[in-house]
Chains A and B, each alone.
Chain A
Amino acid sequence: MTQRLWLLGFIVVLIITPALVTGRVSLSIFIFVGLFSLIVIGLTLLAGHAGQVSLGQAAFYGIGAYISAITTLRLGLPPVLGVMLAVTGAAFIAYLIGAPIFFLRGHFLVLGTLGLNIVVDVVIRNVQGLTGGPTGLTGIPPLSVGRTIIAGDRAYYYLIWTLVLVALWLGRNLIHSRIGRALAAIRASEVAAATLGINPAFYKARMLALSAAFAGLAGALYVHYLGFVSPSPFAFNFSIDLLVMSVLGGIAYLPGAVLGTAVLTVLREVLRTIMPRLLGTGASAEYEIVVFGLLLALVVVLAPGGIWHWLAAVLRLDAGESLSAVSPLPPPGRRVGESGATLLRVEKLQKRFGGILAVRGLSFEVKQGEIYAIIGPNGAGKTTAFNLISGVLRPTSGEIVLRDRIITHLHPYDIAGLGVARTFQTPQVFSDFTVLNNVMMGLHRSLRTGFLGAMFGLGRREDARAASEAAGYLERVGMLDRAMDRAGALPFGAQRLLELSRALATQPALLLLDEPASGLSTTERRELVHLIRQIRESGVTVLLVEHDVSLVMGLADRVLVLNYGEQIAEGTPALVRADPRVIGAYLGDDEVAS
């Protein structure tokens, strides 16, 4: 409850501030802190939660400013409509750029947005007919609702800070929703998230659009507040300032966005008074970048959590989730599958890495309801085959068919959506999540709350139900007592079980298990065998890759043996065990093998 008290105190301070400050300049600083906070909240959502840095927020700010200025001044639209156009316009441009760039899966956004910032700056300065060029536009009407005109510092102060609070609320809801969990999962392991049916580019692009919408809103408010606009506030340097604000306040914390903005804005004012005295009036404004650069470096290296992280510790603001008791729901009943029909067909699959053929001409069929195992010595291409089937890698040639659908060229998240779940050789649990939240990620696709709904706090009931369902899956593997533990702190064997539960939570038709027994103790192995049989009983087809021959022979209905990417035998365990080429591959007998 202390958190609520602090928030209340903050709101009270905000309300009485205008009465305390006198003189126009002082209040306008508070207005600008509010405006910049809006942009930085967006950037913090993007950088701290989607894990992507944009150096083009000043451009989105500028796009919003000019859209609203031009539509109200030249087209005579009502300012409220101008603001809406500014918000959607900035978001739309961001989305157009972000949606493709995020498929590059690296940090290319930073350079793309940096480029955009320079382009926008040049265009604003040069398309004089529309933007007024370097001198800008004047006479932009103030905001009005109906006949009420919003004018004066106090009005804008209250309007902007109300919007800041709303933005904080929206952002907080988003982070604590299904969407926020998906973003955190993507940051932890993009591959694992994708195999749970989450398309990382989709989420990141929407977060970029959201951050641009906040920046566009700030831009529009800016022009209606001041009544004029010129290109200089939207140059690339300001994008850097915004990033420094976000990092300084604490890139992972929304309140940090406001705090960082306030600290840096005040610091800049102080520097502007001190610097000319120290260094002469020459290029004193330019020296800001030295200070900002060093500040950024120091914060990132020495206190990556930023000021808020430190402050939250001092004030004992515990961000930890207070989770009420979850009553587990039993997992849904078995699905009826036509037993014996072909579920997965792999045909002449090849994968080449440079000069090495890791998988050569692999063909096999998995029937509905069976346990099918692929075995083979190290380097036989087993894991590569799995990566190909789950869409994590794309084959050089060949075809993969799920039921009647060719899935060879689908993305992992689409394949997951068709009912294929997998585990990894090294368990890819989301270490910083609780055990329960890990399993909830498996349920992600079955939940419906979208971005907007999540921002307005809808979907809490859905989440509560999902938690119960997730608990049900944990109960099934006997891990319910660990539901609130941090997943990364679990012992290895438990992480395997957790990953398996998470995969089951996607309610797959086909479950791919990549060396499920490796690293497990003898007891754990026995439990695993039991569990896999149970999974099959519940109607899930199991395809597993395994190193441990004896485990496979006792478990699988049919076995495929791979050696150096080539398949050398297929059939029931008894049949395969007797095959001379299999014996050769395992014992290294060249004569038998040839």
Chain B
Amino acid sequence: MSLSQQIAQFIASGIINGTIYALLGLGLVAIHSVTRVVNVAQGEFAAFGALLAVSLMAAGLPLPVSLVAAVAAAALLGGGIHRAAIRPVRNATPLVLLIITIAVHLALKGVLLLLWGTDPYTLRPFTVGPPIRILSAVLTRQSLWVISVTAVALIVLYLFFTKTIRGKSLRACAVNPTAARLVGIRVEWMGTLAWTIAGGLGGLAGVLITPLTLATYDMGLILGLKGFVGAVVVGMASYPWTVVACILFGIVESLGTGLISSNYRDAIAFGALIVVLLWRAIATLRVGWIVSEEVAQE
């Protein structure tokens, strides 16, 4: 393979990975914007969805049913965590909420370990067939599934946020919870809804990626963190830009890994995270001390 072919291949696989990160990043943005929580347990939704889909398939359910059920279960898990662990202490400081999501991350990882053990699992690709050549990159059919399913999910999400009253309420809560409460929006339910959406998106990421890699009980943290990189580049605020940032991050990671060394894959990814945080910080300094308008609204 020539270098240009290699690079095309790296970029292609970077886009696929980036798409997965985007699903996780969107969930993080949804949770952060509505409940102001940085959810360390975001990746566990992916691990849970993936492992559940594998088990449902093994139990004899057809693939589409398994996938849908796994994603739905992950969504319920997300909403359930909000009701069980976040809502009861919603007046706690951000520090306590953060520690709770770390605890949730550990507990979920532990439960996954108890249920599925340390073995890696795989899921068969959604459709069989030879890989497809696009330009000089070779893509598996599953890769195309990843991209197209994500695209559909994004369109649904866009329509939800712009066309439905629920979606608009959710955005209202993100902008100003107090004002949202005053116009009769049940902010706490919106929090549960945001966590449910985040759970579903995480589960979707899990079932989409499993045929390409493998599903293990501890796959979540790294995936979730990579979604976080993309989300924080754009300030944990914008859904569409989170997607763009995650895909770009996927490409950078893939090129870095391919051209330097695969041993350094996570070091490159999280080195990028630190660089991004520093870059955001410097940008913040330029714009002003307080980016949000919390004080202006007092």
A residues with CB within 8 A of B: 47, 51-53, 55, 97, 100-108, 110-112, 114-116, 118-119, 122-123, 125-126, 191, 194, 240, 243, 247, 282-283, 286-287, 289-294, 296-297, 300-301, 304, 353, 358, 383-384, 387, 391-394, 411-412, 424-426
Binds A, one of B47-55, B60-68, B99-107, B153-161: B99-107
CB of B277 within 8 A of CB of A111, answer yes
Contact of A393 among B95, B277, B281, B296 (CB under 8 A): B296
Chain A residue numbers with a CB within 8 Å of B228 are 111
Contact of A294 among B107, B285, B288 (CB under 8 A): B107
* Interface 1/0 per residue, B182-216 and A, CB below 8 Å: 00000000000000000000000000000000000
Interface residues of B in 230-282 (CB under 8 A from A): 232, 261, 263-264, 266-267, 270-271, 273-274, 277-278, 280-282
* Interface 1/0 per residue, B85-99 and A, CB below 8 Å: 100110011111011
Quick one: which of A107, A191, A283, A392 has the most chain B CB within 10 A?
A107
> For the complex, is B82 an interface residue (Cβ under 8 Å from A)?
no
Chain B residue numbers with a CB within 8 Å of A412 are 289
Chain B residue numbers with a CB within 8 Å of A125 are 263
CB of A293 within 8 A of CB of B113, answer no
- How far is the CB of A55 from the nearest CB of chain B, in Å? 7
> For the complex, is B287 an interface residue (Cβ under 8 Å from A)?
yes
Chain B residue numbers with a CB within 8 Å of A118 are 222, 225, 266-267, 270
Q: A100-B282, A107-B98, A353-B296 are in contact. Are A119 and B274 (CB under 8 A)?
A: yes
Mostly helix, strand, loop or mixed at chain B's interface? Answer: helix
> For the complex, is B75 an interface residue (Cβ under 8 Å from A)?
no
- How far is the CB of A299 from the nearest CB of chain B, in Å? 9
Contact of A243 among B99, B266, B289, B290 (CB under 8 A): B99
- How far is the CB of B108 from the nearest CB of chain A, in Å? 8
A298 and chain B: residue at smallest CB distance: B103
A387→B295 CA distance, assembly (Å): 8
CB of B267 within 8 A of CB of A119, answer yes
Chain B residue numbers with a CB within 8 Å of A110 are 38, 40, 98, 102
CB of B278 within 8 A of CB of A107, answer no
CB of A116 within 8 A of CB of B298, answer no
A292→B114 CA distance, assembly (Å): 14
B281 and chain A: residue at smallest CB distance: A100
Q: A112-B277, A289-B109, A393-B296 are in contact. Are A55 and B290 (CB under 8 A)?
A: no
CB of A104 within 8 A of CB of B287, answer no
A109→B291 CA distance, assembly (Å): 17
A412→B295 CA distance, assembly (Å): 13
CB of B113 within 8 A of CB of A116, answer no
CB of A287 within 8 A of CB of B110, answer yes
Contact of A296 among B102, B232, B290, B298 (CB under 8 A): B102
CB of B263 within 8 A of CB of A122, answer yes
Q: A97-B274, A240-B102 are in contact. Are A290 and B118 (CB under 8 A)?
A: no
A51 and chain B: residue at smallest CB distance: B95
A387→B293 CA distance, assembly (Å): 10
- How far is the CB of B44 from the nearest CB of chain A, in Å? 11
CB of B288 within 8 A of CB of A101, answer no
Interchain Cβ contacts under 8 Å between A and B, 14 examples: A51-B93, A55-B102, A97-B274, A102-B281, A106-B94, A115-B277, A119-B271, A122-B266, A243-B99, A290-B113, A294-B107, A301-B89, A358-B296, A394-B287
Taking A114-B270, A300-B96 as given, write out 5 further A-B residue pairs in contact, using a Cβ cutoff of 8 Å, ordered by the A residue number: A103-B284, A111-B228, A289-B109, A300-B100, A393-B295
Chain A residue numbers with a CB within 8 Å of B277 are 100-101, 104, 108, 111-112, 115
Chain A residue numbers with a CB within 8 Å of B107 are 290, 293-294, 297
> For the complex, is B117 an interface residue (Cβ under 8 Å from A)?
yes
- How far is the CB of B64 from the nearest CB of chain A, in Å? 33
Chain A residue numbers with a CB within 8 Å of B291 are 105
A291 and chain B: residue at smallest CB distance: B110
B38 and chain A: residue at smallest CB distance: A107
Chain A residue numbers with a CB within 8 Å of B99 are 53, 243, 247, 296, 300
Q: A51-B95, A111-B38, A115-B270 are in contact. Are A293 and B106 (CB under 8 A)?
A: yes
CB of B289 within 8 A of CB of A411, answer yes
> For the complex, is B179 an interface residue (Cβ under 8 Å from A)?
no
Chain B residue numbers with a CB within 8 Å of A291 are 110
Q: A110-B98, A392-B289 are in contact. Are A101 and B281 (CB under 8 A)?
A: yes
CB of B103 within 8 A of CB of A300, answer yes
Chain B residue numbers with a CB within 8 Å of A119 are 266-267, 270-271, 274
A390→B281 CA distance, assembly (Å): 21
CB of A115 within 8 A of CB of B273, answer yes
CB of B232 within 8 A of CB of A111, answer yes
B261 and chain A: residue at smallest CB distance: A126
> For the complex, is B111 an interface residue (Cβ under 8 Å from A)?
yes
A103→B280 CA distance, assembly (Å): 9
Chain B residue numbers with a CB within 8 Å of A292 are 106
CB of B118 within 8 A of CB of A283, answer yes
Q: What 5 A-B pairs come out closest when comparing CB atoms?
A: A293-B106, A290-B110, A394-B288, A115-B270, A297-B103
A107→B95 CA distance, assembly (Å): 8
Contact of B110 among A243, A293, A300 (CB under 8 A): A293
Chain B residue numbers with a CB within 8 Å of A116 are 270, 274
Contact of A301 among B38, B85, B296 (CB under 8 A): B85
CB of A392 within 8 A of CB of B295, answer yes
- How far is the CB of A60 from the nearest CB of chain B, in Å? 14
Contact of B293 among A115, A290, A353 (CB under 8 A): A353
A294→B109 CA distance, assembly (Å): 11
A310→B290 CA distance, assembly (Å): 38
CB of A112 within 8 A of CB of B274, answer yes
CB of A391 within 8 A of CB of B273, answer no
A106→B117 CA distance, assembly (Å): 36
A286 and chain B: residue at smallest CB distance: B113
- How far is the CB of A204 from the nearest CB of chain B, in Å? 12
Q: A119-B270, A297-B100, A300-B100 are in contact. Are A103 and B88 (CB under 8 A)?
A: no
Contact of A293 among B88, B109, B118, B298 (CB under 8 A): B109
A200 and chain B: residue at smallest CB distance: B289
B267 and chain A: residue at smallest CB distance: A122
CB of B274 within 8 A of CB of A122, answer no
Chain B residue numbers with a CB within 8 Å of A424 are 298
Chain B residue numbers with a CB within 8 Å of A97 are 274, 278
B263 and chain A: residue at smallest CB distance: A126
CB of B95 within 8 A of CB of A104, answer no
A112→B279 CA distance, assembly (Å): 12
A383→B295 CA distance, assembly (Å): 9
CB of A392 within 8 A of CB of B290, answer yes
CB of B111 within 8 A of CB of A290, answer yes
Chain B residue numbers with a CB within 8 Å of A101 are 277-278, 281
Q: A123-B267, A300-B103 are in contact. Are A286 and B289 (CB under 8 A)?
A: no
Chain B residue numbers with a CB within 8 Å of A283 are 113, 117-118
CB of B113 within 8 A of CB of A243, answer no
A78→B126 CA distance, assembly (Å): 62
- How far is the CB of A302 from the nearest CB of chain B, in Å? 10
CB of A126 within 8 A of CB of B264, answer yes
A426→B295 CA distance, assembly (Å): 10
- How far is the CB of A258 from the nearest CB of chain B, in Å? 20
- How far is the CB of B92 from the nearest CB of chain A, in Å? 8
A468→B258 CA distance, assembly (Å): 66
CB of B289 within 8 A of CB of A391, answer yes
* Interface 1/0 per residue, B217-232 and A, CB below 8 Å: 0000010010010001
Quick one: which of A110, A119, A289, A392 has the most chain B CB within 10 A?
A119
A123 and chain B: residue at smallest CB distance: B267
Q: A108-B232, A112-B273 are in contact. Are A304 and B109 (CB under 8 A)?
A: no
A295 and chain B: residue at smallest CB distance: B103
A286→B118 CA distance, assembly (Å): 9
CB of B298 within 8 A of CB of A426, answer yes
* Interface 1/0 per residue, B130-142 and A, CB below 8 Å: 0000000000000
A106→B271 CA distance, assembly (Å): 20
Chain A residue numbers with a CB within 8 Å of B290 are 105, 191, 392-393
Chain A residue numbers with a CB within 8 Å of B282 are 100, 103
Chain B residue numbers with a CB within 8 Å of A123 are 267
